[in-house]
Amino acid sequence: MAKESLPEWPPQLTEAQVHSLTLLATTYALSHGLVYLPVASVQPPTPTSTIHAPLSLFPSPVPRRLFNQARNLQSLYNKLYARIAMDEVFLDRVMGVNGVGKVDEFTGELWKRWKRLRDEGGVVQSLQLGLFRSDYMVHVPRKDEPANLKQVEFNTISSSFGPLSERSSQLHRYLHASTGYYGASAHLTADKFPPNTTISGLVEGLAEAHRAYNIPDTRILFVVQPGERNVFDQRWLEYELLERHSIHVIRQTFDELSASAHIEATTKALRITLDPSLFSSPSSSTSNSASIEISTIYFRAGYTPTDYPTLAHYDIRYLLESSRAIKCPSIPLQLAGGKKVQEILTKSGVLESFLPEDEHKPHDLTAIRETWMEMWSLDENGDSGVQKARDKALELVLKPQREGGGNNVYKESIPAFLDTLPEAEREAWIAMKLIKTPEGLGNYLVRAGGGGTGLEGAVKTEVVSELGIFGWALFGEKDGERKVVKEKEAGWLVRTKGKESNEGGVAAGFSVLDSIVLVD
């Protein structure tokens, strides 16, 4: 689909209509849990107020064929990254002390603890769970060429905003049902709003791991950051686990786990010791016990160096990794999501080693490859990787081995950054060609506070949107062989940012939550 096939966006509204939509959107968001905790130097232990999450007034147009393509690819990506996580030799070579871990302290500390665990024979749980998100943008290489789908990155840890993205799509359905968007666009019809059931999709993966653990009266542990403002995105998963699957959740930070977590010497079960009065329930046999066994550890923390301010925090991660609980993700699966792995996959023959052609049709591998932009390591062939990045700086983004937004270096900032980057650290960075997104697409972006716009926080601006497809995979050793036990596509999100912004993280303050109107 050529750029010209995308409609002019957003549809034209009067100032009164913008006011009306903004009021409807923000009150709906506050009424339906599309919310954040407000900014505070220290979050109170018991929240007393919320603000609506950053949002768009209109869903963003996405070609139907590209949306379907992204969803169809997710199963292949689920299998690909599960198999990478099970390939110790590959990860040791790429991310270990002779690879990225040699020059990137964060990666190195994680890898060293995984290696220590293997050397000590301490891997007692062969099953792993991945809750994934594959992020894409619509790429328009030239005006006269069809648009295509290009992958930004693949996330293997703390793949967030699934629940709030479902709320965001419900918000746009509500605005359409209540106002018809004032007849502003023929594209805005109910059949163009795709369903979004990301909460149940992600929870199905967590529940599958819990059932595979198969010990009564266990709970799922959410490892969280202190003072988390995006807590409601996590709580919706917790509510669904309890209401749909009767599975309880415990939330703990790394610091809390340093006092509460211990591992049984014989069974290697992870147990959390807590105040027993907090768990009194006539339906639970653990009601008089302060020690709760954990079936599955779901990390919503641990993806950034700031989550490990001391070596003792890495040791807490090691303790959790050495338990019998199923990890989501394990350390190897977290390492598999590194940008260096994404770059290595583009090299000849690497993809086939994980998705052999006797298992997959050749066009499956072609379909994956066609989503990749050109990328290379800065340490490629001595100085040539750096020189190439200098020569093409205005077409590039440089990426380190980090998640969470705000870490990349873009275009005109690249030459000065390369001047200061030590040669020894080049291996930890990749260069990637920038995706050329459609021109002329806009939206109304609404953030709590409004910024003095006079439109209740709605700001009309040219935008770039990023489509994320969620999936999950339960994998590991079963029946004597390493395999993907079960996997599924699990929903989607859209994040939209002003075109002047390079970064895309919602929690980092760059993007707003959006949804989709399909364009044929």
Q: Which of 204, 67, 146, 109 is nearest to 488 (CA)?
A: 204
Catalytic-residue membership of 20: no
Condensed to tens digits (0 to 9), the pLDDT of residues 24-41 reads 999 999 999 999 999 887
**pLDDT at residue 503, rounded to an integer:** 53
CA 321, CA 286: separation in Å to the nearest integer? Answer: 24
**pLDDT at residue 280, rounded to an integer:** 55
Condensed to tens digits (0 to 9), the pLDDT of residues 14-24 reads 999 999 999 99
H helix runs in 1-61, sequence order: 15-31
Catalytic-residue membership of 160: yes
pLDDT surpassing 70 at residue 176: yes
> Are the beta carbons of 488 and 481 closer than 8 angstroms?
no
| Res. 275 pLDDT band, cuts 50 70 90 | confident
CA 87, CA 81: separation in Å to the nearest integer? Answer: 10
Catalytic residue among 71, 327, 340, 399: 399
Catalytic residue among 71, 229, 488, 495: 495
CA 291, CA 272: separation in Å to the nearest integer? Answer: 5
Catalytic-residue membership of 155: yes
Q: Which of 21, 3, 5, 23 is nearest to 13 (CA)?
A: 21
If one counts every other C-beta atom within 10 angstroms of the C-beta of residue 268, the result is 15
**pLDDT at residue 356, rounded to an integer:** 85
**pLDDT at residue 20, rounded to an integer:** 96
Q: Which of 226-240, 452-466, 473-487 has the highest mean pLDDT?
A: 226-240
Give the range among 1-10, 21-30, 289-298 with minimum mean pLDDT: 1-10
Catalytic-residue membership of 109: no
What would the mean pLDDT of 423-451 be, rounded to a whole number?
88
Let me know how long the chain is. 520
**Bridge pairing between strands 512-514 and 396-399:** unpaired
pLDDT surpassing 70 at residue 419: yes
With tokens 């925090």, the residue in question is 313
Q: Which two tokens stand for residue 28?
A: 């709906």
Please state, in angstroms and as integers, the Cα–Cα distance from residue 89 to each residue in 93, 99, 115, 399, following that order.
Answer: 6, 12, 11, 24
- Cβ-proximal residues to 423 (8 Å cutoff; 6+ apart), any chain: none
| Res. 43 pLDDT band, cuts 50 70 90 | confident
Helix (H) / strand (E) containing 443: strand 442-446
**pLDDT at residue 236, rounded to an integer:** 98
> Are the beta carbons of 250 and 220 closer than 8 angstroms?
yes
β-bridge partners, 483? 476
**pLDDT at residue 283, rounded to an integer:** 47
Catalytic-residue membership of 369: no
pLDDT surpassing 90 at residue 481: no
Catalytic-residue membership of 169: no
**Mean pLDDT, rounded, of the chain:** 91
CA 179, CA 168: separation in Å to the nearest integer? Answer: 17
β-bridge partners, 508? none
Spatial strand order of the sheet with 430-433 comes to 375-377, 430-433, 396-399, 409-410
CA 149, CA 8: separation in Å to the nearest integer? Answer: 20
What would the mean pLDDT of 46-72 be, rounded to a whole number?
95
Percentage with pLDDT > 70 across the chain: 93
| Res. 404 pLDDT band, cuts 50 70 90 | low
Catalytic residue among 339, 402, 426, 497: 339
Condensed to tens digits (0 to 9), the pLDDT of residues 203-240 reads 999 999 999 999 999 999 999 999 999 999 999 999 99
Give the range among 171-175, 423-427, 443-447 with minimum mean pLDDT: 423-427
**pLDDT at residue 506, rounded to an integer:** 55
**pLDDT at residue 3, rounded to an integer:** 42
Q: Which two tokens stand for residue 301?
A: 């923390």
Catalytic residue among 79, 113, 133, 219: 133
Structural domains present in the chain: 64-165+191-361+460-519 (3.40.50.1760), 374-434 (3.30.1490.50)
What would the mean pLDDT of 44-49 be, rounded to a whole number?
86
pLDDT surpassing 80 at residue 478: no
pLDDT surpassing 80 at residue 281: no
Catalytic-residue membership of 495: yes
Q: Which of 274, 169, 175, 165 is nearest to 230 (CA)?
A: 165
What would the mean pLDDT of 303-319 be, rounded to a whole number?
96
**pLDDT at residue 1, rounded to an integer:** 38
pTM above 0.85, yes or no: yes
Catalytic-residue membership of 339: yes
pLDDT surpassing 90 at residue 145: no
pLDDT surpassing 80 at residue 318: yes
pLDDT surpassing 60 at residue 260: yes
Catalytic residue among 56, 60, 159, 160: 160
CA 205, CA 222: separation in Å to the nearest integer? Answer: 14
If one counts every other C-beta atom within 10 angstroms of the C-beta of residue 519, the result is 19
Give the range among 113-122, 238-247, 362-371, 477-486 with minimum mean pLDDT: 477-486
Catalytic residue among 155, 158, 323, 511: 155
Percentage with pLDDT > 90 across the chain: 79
What would the mean pLDDT of 62-72 be, rounded to a whole number?
96
Catalytic residue among 56, 79, 130, 153: 153
> Are the beta carbons of 166 and 160 closer than 8 angstroms?
no
| Res. 286 pLDDT band, cuts 50 70 90 | very low
Q: How many CA atoms lie within 13 A of 294 on its CB side?
A: 33
Q: How many CA atoms lie within 13 A of 368 on its CB side?
A: 25
